[in-house]
Amino acid sequence: MTLLIVDDEQRIRELIRKYAVFEGYEVDEAADGMQAVEKCRAHRYDLVIMDVMMPELDGFSACREIRKTSQVPMLMLSARGEEYDRIHGFELGVDDYVVKPFSPKELMMRVGAILKRSAATPAASSEQVVIGDLVVDFTARRVTISGEALDLSPKEYDLLFYMVRNRGIALTREKLISEVWGYDFFGDDRTLDTHIKLLRRQLGPYADRITTLRGVGYRFEKE
């Protein structure tokens, strides 16, 4: 598998390359967002690791451009850990968000988890779950409210589908992260909370179907 590492700091690119090559990945590099967009148009990558703050074109803008033609899995790096930045990245379809300074080993674990999830083929199912005028179609990977399709990111689909399939069941934070992100909980779980917030915003009148279980996790309520 081939990774594209995008960062204006050469030492960061070299650090990630070292660990990525050790894990058996092929690696390409870009020094700014414009180069990343051009490379993604010209080549097929299995995953992009991209810094947010870069000259020429920042990581968020580059992600927006890449998403016009590709759904390549993407992991963002940033020196800032504010909730706004994480939410903005997830809204653009970013799969994971890691704050600098980071552990290279943990970064590779997250890369492996994303690739594992993106390569997995879910079991075919013709099941639809209908709750009022909310329709969750697993086969078409489509969610509609009153016939209008919701514009969810890949990870928002994964999280909603898992919760709906297990509606009425108390799901721990660790279980949700393990099943949806593909790795056992070992770090910052704000990623889950951010995606729940984004999902509730998308679900509108059905937002209260996702109940917070204090000290436990979340539950998608049955009718």
List phi, psi (to 5°) of 205: -65, -10
**Domain spans, the chain:** 2-119, 128-220
According to the model, what pLDDT value does residue 122 have? 47
Taking only the tens of pLDDT, the chain with its 223 residues reads 899 999 999 999 999 999 999 999 999 999 999 999 999 988 889 999 999 989 889 999 999 899 888 888 999 998 776 677 778 778 888 888 888 888 999 999 999 988 887 765 444 444 788 888 999 988 788 899 998 999 888 889 999 999 998 988 999 988 888 888 775 445 466 888 999 999 999 999 999 999 999 989 999 998 7
CA distance 150 to 73: 20
Contact 118, 139 (CB under 8 A): no
3-state SS string over 15-70? HHHHHHHHCCCEEEEECCHHHHHHHHHHCCCCEEEEECCCCCCCHHHHHHHHCCCC
Report in angstroms the alpha-carbon separations of 33 from 48, 83, 116, 137, 219: 11, 22, 26, 35, 39
Tokens linked to 65: 């451009």
2-119: CATH, from 3.40.50.2300, 3.90.79.10, 3.20.20.70, 3.40.50.720 = 3.40.50.2300
According to the model, what pLDDT value does residue 160 have? 94
Model pTM score: 0.61
- Asked, colleague to colleague, whether 2-119 and 128-220 share their fold, the answer is no
| CATH class of the 128-220 domain in this structure | mainly alpha
3-state SS string over 197-215? HHHHHHHHHHHHHEEEECC
H/E segment holding residue 220: strand 217-220
Angle between helices 10-22 and 104-119 (to 10 degrees): 60
Amino acid at 163: M
According to the model, what pLDDT value does residue 201 have? 94
According to the model, what pLDDT value does residue 119 have? 67
According to the model, what pLDDT value does residue 221 have? 93
According to the model, what pLDDT value does residue 71 have? 81
